Amino acid sequence: MRIDPHTHSTCSDGTDSPEQLMEAAAAAGLDVVGLTDHDTTAGWAQAAQAVARTGVVLLRGTEVSCASEGVTLHLLAYLHREDDPALSSALRRSRQSRGLRARRMVELLGEDYPVTWQDVLEQCGEDTVVGRPHIADALVACGAFPDRSAAFAGPLATGSPYYVPHWALDAVEACQMVRAAGGVPVAAHPRALSRQRRLVPDQTFAAMAEAGLAALEVNHRDHGPGQREETRALARRLGLGTSGASDYHGTGKPNRLGENLMPPELLEQVVDEGALPLVRP
């Protein structure tokens, strides 16, 4: 069984609509795909409508923005109740904070680059959580950079003078909140040092495990061989499962559907522990 549990649509920072994502998953030979847009469940319904036609099983999820001692961490929440008051409120606050952060970053960038807020909005789809990827696309569109990766390596980098932080849930609290909403939490790319200057320490993952963390995403494009082995060893020490995924964003990133996969036994655990069922053909 081929399971890619971490992908994005136009409802966050992907370039495929949820329906197009399901079609792409079918073309890639996937049996199951997880739609995990940033801090939103807006794409779930449209993706579910495409299940019968594409034959691909849908694993509903959300990539929750978290932090620990000022270090960013993303938490994949699977099969949680969409209407849970506490989690829904936290996701809404994160989306609002991301929007304000994006506006401020564009204001700062506009002093040195030919980019405006309207330029950024033109890179977004409906119900989109506006973020740095859309700013990157606007910078590419105006000719300032050749692609998203170059923009992220330059003015959109975490240490850049144009960078503005946004509010995010505490990582341990996020695990507790996801479990309370009937969801199953998995830490996304926990050793992707290329994304930021510092990593979340092992003791935080230990506390997250106590709070209900189910697994660590080991096999990911942003993890080299050493980082994969380090993450796998950490999962063993903490008694956690291990996952893998593409983190597909359509044309926004080079990541390809199915390049890393979730083990079937972890999917079984997620289904057993989650509040929602898989959406099947």
If asked whether residues 140 and 208 sit together in one domain, one would say no
Q: Is residue 180 part of a domain?
A: yes
Outline where the chain has alpha helix (H).
18-27, 44-49, 51-54, 85-109, 117-121, 132-141, 148-153, 171-180, 202-210, 225-238, 264-273
pLDDT on residue 127? 67
Percent of the chain at pLDDT > 90 equals 89
Look at residue 28 and tell me whether its pLDDT is greater than 90. Answer: yes
If asked whether residues 240 and 127 sit together in one domain, one would say no
Q: Which residue has the higher pLDDT, 193 or 56?
A: 56
What region does 143 belong to: left with phi over 0, alpha with psi -120 to 50, or beta?
left
Where residue 142 sits, what CATH number does that domain have? 1.10.150.650
pLDDT on residue 196? 65
What does the chain come to in residues? 281
Tell me what the mean pLDDT of segment 115-134 comes to: 87
Among residues 153, 174, 197, the one where a domain terminates is: 153
Q: Could you give the 3-state DSSP secondary structure of residue 172? A: helix
If asked whether residues 211 and 231 sit together in one domain, one would say yes
| 94 burial via Cβ count (<10 Å: 0-12, 13-18, 19+) | buried
Q: What is the pTM of this model?
A: 0.93
If asked whether residues 83 and 104 sit together in one domain, one would say no
If asked whether residues 64 and 171 sit together in one domain, one would say yes
**What is d(CA 27, CA 16) in angstroms, rounded to the nearest whole number?**
14
Name the nearest CA neighbour of 113 among 148, 78, 151, 81: 151
Q: pLDDT of 144-182, one tens digit each?
A: 999 998 999 999 998 899 999 999 999 999 999 999 999
If asked whether residues 9 and 144 sit together in one domain, one would say no
pLDDT on residue 158? 84
Output the average pLDDT for the chain. 95
Number of domains in the chain: 2
Query: Domain range for residue 128?
Result: 100-153
* CB neighbours of residue 275 within 10 Å: 15
If asked whether residues 120 and 239 sit together in one domain, one would say no
Tell me what the mean pLDDT of segment 181-200 comes to: 88
Look at residue 129 and tell me whether its pLDDT is greater than 90. Answer: no
List C-alpha distances in Å: 192 to 109, 159, 225: 26, 16, 12
Q: Is residue 174 part of a domain?
A: yes
Where residue 208 sits, what CATH number does that domain have? 3.20.20.140
DSSP state for residue 212 in the 8-state scheme: T
Q: What share of the chain is helix, strand, coil (3-state, %, to 5)?
A: 40, 15, 40
**What is d(CA 273, CA 178) in angstroms, rounded to the nearest whole number?**
12
Name the nearest CA neighbour of 205 among 192, 187, 217: 187
Name the nearest CA neighbour of 218 among 184, 247, 178, 252: 247
DSSP state for residue 248 in the 8-state scheme: B
Q: Is residue 202 part of a domain?
A: yes
> 74: Cβ–Cβ under 8 A, 6 or more apart, which residues?
38, 63, 64, 65, 66, 187, 188, 189
If asked whether residues 186 and 226 sit together in one domain, one would say yes
Q: Is residue 67 part of a domain?
A: yes
Q: pLDDT of 29-67, one tens digit each?
A: 999 999 999 999 999 999 999 999 999 999 999 999 999
Q: Is residue 53 part of a domain?
A: yes
Q: Could you give the 3-state DSSP secondary structure of residue 266? A: helix
pLDDT on residue 64? 98
Structure tokens at 139: 């910078």
Q: Is residue 27 part of a domain?
A: yes
**What is d(CA 75, CA 82) in angstroms, rounded to the nearest whole number?**
16
Categorize the per-residue pLDDT at 81 as very low, low, confident or very high, splitting at 50, 70 and 90: very high
